[in-house]
Amino acid sequence: MAAVAVVFHEGDDGLDLLFVKRCAREGGRWSGDVAFPGGLSEEGETEPAQTARREAREEVGISLGEPVGRLSAHLTVEPRRARPMRVVPVVFSVDERPPLVLEPAEIAEAFWVPWSVIEQAQTRWLLRTARRLPMLAPSIRIHGYPLWGLTLQMVWGLSRRLG
């Protein structure tokens, strides 16, 4: 199991979501991708919220309280094991945007994106390679980077929930 922390802040200008850009690593499946903070669960973590909170603390240095909800889980293949992995997006709200302290071995950048930017983004096709085969994947651009794959599916799921 894996979990991600979908962290939002609602301010005077509307809703903002927290994203990270993962460090580029040779052969890493999600290397350099934009995502939500998150990762694989560790021993003793029985709830996705535990994993999401720990990963947010480790990757961007923020402490999260109780979740306000969950989005639908997604299945993907964990590259080292080539077996299905369940990724659960856990939604958290923060009253203030906390200072972000990045884990430099994992996270290249972290940034807040206004929901209005996500709503107005046009879907584009991104050429990716999966198992050495080229494929086209839907994406949107945020903060100058493509957002695609599981994270984009999660954003679309959040959009449906928000109406």
Q: Which helix (H) or strand (E) holds 6?
A: strand 2-11
Tens digits of residue pLDDT in 81-139: 566 778 999 999 999 999 999 999 999 999 999 999 999 999 999 887 766 788 899 99
Q: Tell me which fold the domain 2-162 belongs to.
A: Nucleoside Triphosphate Pyrophosphohydrolase (3.90.79)
How many other C-beta atoms lie within 10 A of the C-beta of residue 7? 24
pLDDT surpasses 70 at 161: yes
Which percentage of the chain shows pLDDT scores above 90? 71
Spatial CA neighbour of 109 closest among 8, 17, 23 = 23
Q: Residue 84 has what pLDDT?
A: 74
SS3 category, 128: strand
Q: Residue 4 has what pLDDT?
A: 96
Tokens 């909800």, residue located: 69
| Residue 104 C-beta-side C-alpha neighbours within 13 Å | 0
Q: Residue 132 has what pLDDT?
A: 75
pLDDT surpasses 90 at 48: yes
Q: Are 157 and 72 in contact (CB under 8 A)?
A: yes
Tokens 């996500």, residue located: 118
Please tell me the distance from the alpha carbon of residue 154 to that of residue 156, in angstroms, as a whole number: 5
Q: Mean pLDDT score of the chain, rounded to an integer? A: 90
Residue 10 CA, chain-centre distance (Å), reads 18
Domains of the chain, residue spans: 2-162
- Between residues 5 and 78, the one the model is more confident about: 5
Spatial CA neighbour of 80 closest among 147, 146, 25 = 25
